[in-house]
Amino acid sequence: MRRKTICFFNSYKKWGGGEKWNYDMATRLAGKGYAVLVVTNHKSELHHRLGGSGVKRMQVGISNFSPINPAKVFQIYRLLHRERIETIILNLSTDVKVAGIAARLAGLKKILYARGIAKPIKNTMANRFLFQRILTGVIANSEETKRAILRNNANLIDPGRVHVIYNGIDMARYRIRVRQSGHLRKGSEIILGTAGRLETVKNQQFLIQAARSLKDRGVAFTLLIAGEGRLRDELQALAAALDVSEQVRFLGFVRDMPKFMADIDLFVLSSHYEGFGYVLVEAMAAERPVITFDDSSGPEIVENQKTGILVPRNDLDEFVRQVEHIAANRDLIAGYGLAGKQRVEANFTIQKTLENLEKVI
């Protein structure tokens, strides 16, 4: 019997959560005997990282003008037809507009859009056409993302064709490690950590303001900020203006997240929204308690007062109060951490993600 042929189509050039998901799912499906093809843009980080994985990969130039270029659609149509693709999983809205239409013309059985951000979709004629006539289904990374997809138009797509598949963690990478950066700790301070792009949506300004409040309350702490982005200079200037530069450290891009999580006591996240708070799951997998907002996808991941703390959005006083509470009651770290690991093992493993994806494809 011929193997099922799956194509992951991702034109994003940089590396992010969607690209990690594509990498994990493509390599694991290939390991289970599927015929997998990953199509990326030129100068793609995903393409680079797939080198040596054994997964077949191709590159197609995609730009903002590709949706209005019939030749580009025809190029992808020929590629899909030649490779005998049966199922395609699209990553960006641009991919839907180009490769999605090409897939429909090629007669693919399943045309799926993996949606990873909890932002509403505009109720336009073009989007209604794409979701109702082109896509056979959508993969949402949380219930919050599913709600966002349907928020502006409950009839945009049949809700039964929106499949919620949580991102998964490879638990083998997140066994508790011996702290490797003990020099970071000064006396009895608590080490806080956060990770994410230094962009407006991640709202690191809130955490720097929280640092000022913690300092005013006499809490001994260090806040480690992992990530790069356009706001680095602005955030560093804010830390200096609030006189917390000594307490707030910018680490830049951190590749080894298990080590980062092992080096902190408490993970904090203040994003305006998260389609799926993958870093929250990473922290919980490493047995680190988390504090985040009680909205977006946070409540789907964090069990309040069990694996961490949920606070009202942008409630600085309550956020700081909860950090101070954990700093003063260190026994909570181990209790929350163990419960968090158990929750990840039950709900957010990469094996479970793969099983759920196989059911859809």
Q: What is the average pLDDT across 297-313?
A: 96
- Domain parsing of the chain, residue ranges: 5-168+350-360, 171-347
Q: Given pLDDT bands bounded at 50, 70 and 90, which one contains residue 183?
A: very low
Beta bridge partner(s), residue 118 = none
Q: What is the CATH number of domain 5-168+350-360?
A: 3.40.50.2000
pLDDT for 182 beyond 50: no
Question: pLDDT grade, residue 180 (50/70/90)?
Answer: low
pLDDT for res 88: 98
**Is residue 178's pLDDT more than 60?**
no
pTM above 0.85, yes or no: yes
CATH of domain 171-347: 3.40.50.2000
Query: pLDDT tens digit string along 220-274?
Result: 999 999 999 999 999 999 999 999 999 999 999 998 999 999 999 999 999 998 8
Determine the Cα angle at 165 with ends 164 and 171, to 5°.
150
More confident residue, 234 or 275: 234
- Looking at residue 184, its pLDDT comes to 64
* Tens-place pLDDT, residues 113-170: 999 988 899 999 999 999 999 999 999 999 999 999 999 999 999 999 999 999 999 9
Q: Which residue has the higher pLDDT, 181 or 238?
A: 238
pLDDT of residue 193: 97
- Provide the pLDDT confidence category of residue 344 given band limits of 50, 70 and 90: very high
Strand partners, 88: 7, 111
Q: Are 151 and 143 in contact (CB under 8 A)?
A: no
Tens digit of each residue's pLDDT (9 = 90 or more) over 34-92: 999 999 999 999 999 999 999 999 999 999 999 999 999 999 999 999 999 999 999 99
